[in-house]
Amino acid sequence: MITAIQDFKQDHGNPTFVQASKHPQFEKLVSKVATTVSAQPLKYLQNFGGTTTAFLYERGHGVVRLLPGVPFYLRRFYPLVQHLARSHWVEHIKKNDRNRPILGDAGDLENFLFETPRKTLDEVCAALLKLDGHQCFYRGERLSQADVDHFIPFSQYPRDIGQNFVLAHARCNRSKSNALAAEQHLQRWLERLEKRAGDLAAISEAAGVTSDAAVMTRVAQWSYANAVSAHGHAWVQPALFEPITASYLRHFPASGG
């Protein structure tokens, strides 16, 4: 499976996932990967002590059907599941003696394997500067240098989607960190998704990152709803936070859940 993916990337100029998905040979690659995943991890994942206990999914001919409740918890704990999968995969690679001459003592293997390439973020940054101007999304002050920030924190939704990127001062980016943004920022972000839909989609496609405004809206609604339930606080500006209340949720479309 890994060889098939590697060969595809080498043959087609190391494309991003979005670029690869548009290639005529992509479906053939997906079929190979699906066959391997079905024959190995899916076949044995629910085996314990020599018996199979279907606690996550049931398998049929060419179909995997998640059991009731499983989709909810996979979504609820998606960041944790992804973190564990990535951590154990990195550990597996490092433990393989054949990889040692190549890796040495490299400590940034996880970033190399999973983070969005710097070149891609630079392309996003340049395009957003043209779209939004040289202004911090949160403070409105002029930017001399811009950070590309995940509006919904990457720690809560560790996936790069073009509509989630905004430009910010480095100080704002560091201060906001893993916090959700305050109501005034949320309202402006949602308005931007609607008003700049075509531009944001074009920027995403040009940079080779996923574009999906509907998914980002649902993710944001889910994140803020969880924060309301947990009596969380939102970042307003450096050193200033406010409680996240039910009023935040009125900004989302009624069908967004």
Spell out the domain ranges in the chain: 1-67, 68-114, 116-251
Q: Which of 66-80, 85-99, 155-169 shows the lowest per-residue confidence on average (mean pLDDT)?
A: 85-99
**In the predicted structure, residue 163 carries a pLDDT above the cut 70:** yes
Nearest to 225 by CA among 213, 214, 237, 217: 217
Q: Which whole number is the average pLDDT over 58-71? A: 90
**Rounded CA separation 184/177 (Å):** 17
Decide if pLDDT at 255 tops 60.
no
Give the pLDDT confidence score for residue 88 in this predicted structure. 86
| Gap between the Cα atoms of 45 and 54, Å rounded | 9
pTM > 0.75: yes or no? no
Residue 257 confidence (pLDDT): 42
Cα torsion for 184, 190, 207, 235, to the nearest 10°? 30
**Tens digit of each residue's pLDDT (9 = 90 or more) over 191-244:** 999 999 999 999 999 998 999 999 999 999 999 999 999 999 999 999 999 999
Exposed/middle/buried for residue 164 (C-beta within 10 Å: 0-12, 13-18, 19+): buried
d(CA 16, CA 94): 24
Mean pLDDT, residues 137-143 taken together: 96
